[in-house]
Amino acid sequence: MLLKDKIAIIFGGGGAIGGAVAKAFAGEGARVFLAGRSIEKLEAVVRQISGAGGRVEIARIDALNKQEVENQLNEIVKKTGSIDISFNAIGLNDTQGLPLTEMVYDQFASPIITAMQGYFITSAAVVKHMRKKGTGVILAITANAGRKPYPNTGGFGVACAAIEGYCRQLAAEVGEQGIRVVCIRSAGSPDAPGVDEVFKLHAKNAGITREAFDAGFADSTMLKRLPKLNEVANVALLMASDKASAITAAVVNVTCGELAD
């Protein structure tokens, strides 16, 4: 198993991406701790993981609250002795569908502030534990809008670019402590509820059907399709494993060729 007996915490573990990654990690032997604000969503993921024989626990915490994050990490370390993997998949509270010049500042800035606050708090807290063991992996998730501009995406693309920049600098600072930092950049998975809502919005703004929007987006990729949730989760699994032990400060392209590196 790729993650046998590894200890992993997933912030935003009740969301579509966090849940998919949690199931992938647990399926490969990790003991998974899910953190999020909705107990109902977390419990839904627990049922799937437990039903498949995986090990999982949950805690209701806000990743933007430094004390709650630190308390939860301390509890995990008391139980297990360490934290090997941290994955941040919190929602960014972004507003899309409007040109920048028609947005109010708070709509634009909200995802950027949320991203930086959430990633800074969680990574700073988890590094304190990982450095004691001299090893660890910190994972992030962004979208293709972090590199390529798309109209009417508000502050979302800027937030993604900020996350990627933050991960690069963090990697440079914690590498000598044995900690790797990797960002996964997706083109958006149509089978994720949040992506589905955003795609519907952009299709409406473009005056086309959702089917036509999906087809056009897929046609812009080299593989002529968009990545599924399980595909994104599988890449996160690989990056978290020792099979990727030489990879850090990287943004891994999971866009089905919508972007080329």
* 145 located within any domain: yes
- Residue 200: pLDDT band (50, 70, 90) is confident
Same domain, 246 and 172: yes
pLDDT tens readout for residues 29-59: 999 999 999 999 999 999 999 999 999 999 9
pLDDT tens readout for residues 72-109: 999 999 999 999 999 999 999 999 999 999 999 999 99
Same domain, 107 and 195: no
What distances in angstroms separate CA 38 from CA 23, 32, 60, 115, 202, one per listed residue? Answer: 18, 17, 7, 18, 27
In contact, 22 and 45? CB cutoff 8 Å = yes
CA–CA separation, 259 vs 110, rounded Å? Answer: 26
Between 129 and 204, where is the model more confident?
129
Three-state SS at 7? strand
Between 195 and 233, where is the model more confident?
233
pLDDT at 198 over 90: no
Q: The whole model's pTM is what? A: 0.95
- Residue 206: pLDDT band (50, 70, 90) is confident
Instruction: Burial-class residue 107 by CB neighbours within 10 Å (0-12, 13-18, 19+).
Output: middle
- Residue 126: pLDDT band (50, 70, 90) is very high
CA–CA separation, 13 vs 36, rounded Å? Answer: 6
Residue 255: its pLDDT value, please?
Answer: 97
* 1 located within any domain: no
| Average pLDDT taken over every residue of the chain | 96
Distance, C-alpha 238 to centroid of its chain: 14
* 108 located within any domain: yes
Same domain, 96 and 158: yes
Same domain, 205 and 83: no
**How many of the other CB atoms lie within 10 Å of CB of 174?**
19
pLDDT at 159 over 90: yes
The alpha carbon torsion through 239, 7, 179, 155 (nearest 10 deg) reads: 60
Domain ranges, residue 96: 7-189+228-254
**Cα angle for residues 247, 250, 254 (degrees, 5° grid):** 105
For residues 3-7, give the mean pLDDT. 98
- Residue 211: pLDDT band (50, 70, 90) is confident
* 261 located within any domain: no
Q: What is the DSSP string of 190-241?
A: TTSHHHHHHHHHHHHHHTS-HHHHHHHHHHTSSSSS---HHHHHHHHHHHHS
Same domain, 241 and 174: yes
Between 201 and 8, where is the model more confident?
8
Q: Which of 196, 192, 11 is nearest to 90 (CA)?
A: 11
Same domain, 27 and 113: yes
Same domain, 236 and 182: yes
- Structural domain total, the chain: 2
**Tokens standing for 12?**
């935003």
Q: What is the DSSP string of 151-203?
A: TT-TTHHHHHHHHHHHHHHHHHHHGGGTEEEEEEEE---TTSHHHHHHHHHHH
- Residue 199: pLDDT band (50, 70, 90) is confident
For residues 219-225, give the mean pLDDT. 95
* 260 located within any domain: no
* 2 located within any domain: no
